[in-house]
Amino acid sequence: MDLLERPRRLRKNAVLRAMVRETRVSKSSLIYPVFVREGKGIEEPIPSLPGQTRYSPDTLARELEKVSRAGVPAVMLFGIPEKKDACGSGAWVENGVVQQALRIAKREFPQLCLITDVCLCEYTSHGHCGILNGQEVDNDPTVEVLAKTALSHVQAGADMVAPSDMMDGRVLAIRRLLDQNGFSGTAILSYAVKYASAFYGPFRDAAGSAPSFGDRKGYQMDFHNRREAMREAALDVREGADILMVKPALSYLDVVSDISRAFDVPTAAYSVSGEYAMIKSAAAAGLIDEAAVTCESAVSVFRAGADLLITYYAKELARWIDEGRIG
């Protein structure tokens, strides 16, 4: 055949394929979520998230040592308090579970970037992400305590805060309060585009954060909507967000692409608990190759335009990058 163009020439061997690879994946782009439960001596496997564990602040160092050895540069901490109340006051107390964990982590692993989830759902007795007025989450009073929570995290050692509540105006409130208290250099990783998703089920079990009534569709986004994501992201950028997150990841790669193209700040994507659990379940049943599917899924997120990936597979992906499976 008289062909001038033969795309297969550049697929001839592994060296050539790696040389012309369009999407590059680095360990420096990975963030690992960690659950921290109030108490002592806790190292508790999470049945809904096989391979994941709840740690108390005093045992957290064991996991952070593994994360650091793997070459994963950042963790995102989620707190699980011993006691909850209607306003989620455990979220911002000086000696709260996340605040304890931050002090230990900052002292023992100063090289790690410590990011904290800023929300109230783990701390409220009703499981919603804010302060209630009747059966509805009251936006403005919630924003005030979210800002107070973010400040308490930074004062305890957080390098970055990540508000996940989806209240209107919370990025601006956090930015202003941090700046007023001398933390103008602390970045905000905003859950700018967070959908009301069925993929969060295992997380809610792990963190004990399922709402006791109703759902979160009054503040999290409708999964039918794409243009709304651009509006939410633009608002957060104007309010001072340094990084924009899309959550979940795999079912929203179109949105990841839109956000990464439209804004000049980095884009993060959160590969959520349901995505992780589906791969784990299918692999346990012998239906898929866990490593191959995880690598392919992670690359798809970066290929869509993400700069950062929050994933429960961060440690394994770091190893597979070292082994040359992806990169």
Position 212 scores a pLDDT of 79
Count CB neighbours of 261 within 10 A: 9
**Contact predicate 98/156, CB 8 Å:** yes
Q: Name the residue ranges covered by the structural domains of the chain.
A: 22-322
In the block, residue with structure tokens 């990011």:
115
Count CB neighbours of 55 within 10 A: 23
Q: Which are the catalytic amino acids?
A: 194, 247
At 171, the pLDDT band (50, 70, 90 cuts) reads: very high
Q: What is the model's pTM?
A: 0.96
Position 216 scores a pLDDT of 86
Q: pLDDT tens digits, residue range 235-257?
A: 999 999 999 999 999 999 999 99
Question: Quick one: fold of 22-322?
Answer: TIM Barrel (3.20.20)
Position 169 scores a pLDDT of 97
Position 215 scores a pLDDT of 79
Position 80 scores a pLDDT of 95
* Cα distance between residue 309 and residue 32, in whole Å: 9
Q: pLDDT tens digits, residue range 60-95?
A: 999 999 999 999 999 999 999 999 999 899 999 999
